[in-house]
């Protein structure tokens, strides 16, 4: 069975996302989602980057929005919010009902939402049909066959990306492990161990199948 990764661009039909990107000029990223019990509702793990002056207004909007039934947020000192939201998500519902998997989604002011989806040729065809049936305008920006196994879990990838973007791997470091862990809402030892395992896994993957002899020592 051949797996295909698709990049799909779509506007509208995610009112709360459209509002925070257009009205509050925020950037957002979804890392994971799963269907909820409510009609068309989806539980979503997100990251939002927003100007500090607009943060309170945006959170007030989300808490009062009819599209959002539940919201849990971890604040950050660097203009980033992490959390879970249970909200109407027509596109994500189409993704799950088509037996596809959401890898990530991202968007910002003036741009369509980019949905990165994994599926088979058949399941992706079902997804396109469902989007058309829901009258959701979309554009397939890219299709690529997945030839390598997924090395990291979604959580490992999220922690690694967040650490990289905040300068944890810079020299000198722009942020240290305790501050980083506090921003991400995890214990410092847990974050340290996760990053250590992630780095080891990536190194193992890089050298997998390499049978070159070790360097000679004098």
Task: Answer whether 94's CB lies under 8 Å from 131's CB.
Answer: yes
pLDDT 10s digits, 158-198: 899 889 888 898 888 889 999 999 988 889 999 999 999 99
- 180-197: burial string, b at 16+ Cβ within 10 Å, e else: bbbbbebeeeebeebbee
User: CA–CA separation, 4 vs 213, rounded Å?
Assistant: 36
User: CA–CA separation, 49 vs 61, rounded Å?
Assistant: 16
Residue 9: pLDDT over 90: yes
pLDDT 10s digits, 73-130: 987 666 788 888 988 888 888 998 899 988 889 988 888 899 999 999 999 999 999 9
User: CA–CA separation, 33 vs 116, rounded Å?
Assistant: 12
Q: pLDDT tier at 63 (50, 70, 90 boundaries)?
A: very high
- 128-154: burial string, b at 16+ Cβ within 10 Å, e else: bebbeeeebebeeeeeeeeeeeeebee
Query: 29: which 2 tokens?
Result: 């990223």
Angle, CA 3 vertex, CA 133 and CA 88 arms, to 5°: 40
Q: Is this prediction's pTM over 0.85?
A: no
What is the distance of C-alpha 43 from the center of its chain? 13
């Amino acid at each position: 069975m051949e797996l295909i990764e698709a990049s799909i661009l779509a506007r509208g039909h995610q009112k709360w996302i459209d509002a925070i990107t257009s009205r509050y000029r925020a950037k957002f990223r979804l890392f994971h989602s799963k269907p909820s019990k409510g009609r068309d509702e989806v539980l979503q793990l997100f990251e939002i980057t927003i100007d500090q002056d607009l943060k309170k207004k945006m959170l007030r909007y989300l808490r009062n929005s009819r599209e959002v039934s539940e919201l849990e947020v971890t604040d950050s000192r660097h203009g980033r919010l992490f959390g879970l939201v249970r909200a109407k998500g027509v596109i994500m519902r189409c993704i799950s009902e088509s037996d596809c998997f959401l890898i990530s989604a991202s968007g910002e002011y003036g741009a369509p939402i980019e949905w990165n989806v994994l599926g088979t040729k058949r399941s992706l065809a079902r997804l396109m049909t469902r989007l058309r049936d829901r009258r959701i305008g979309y554009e397939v920006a890219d299709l690529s066959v997945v030839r390598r196994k997924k090395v990291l879990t979604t959580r490992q990838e999220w922690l690694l990306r967040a650490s990289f973007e905040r300068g944890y791997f810079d020299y000198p470091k722009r942020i240290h492990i305790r501050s980083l862990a506090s921003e991400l809402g995890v214990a410092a030892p847990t974050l340290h161990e996760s990053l250590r395992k992630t780095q080891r896994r990536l190194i193992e993957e890089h050298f997998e199948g390499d049978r070159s002899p070790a360097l000679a020592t004098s």
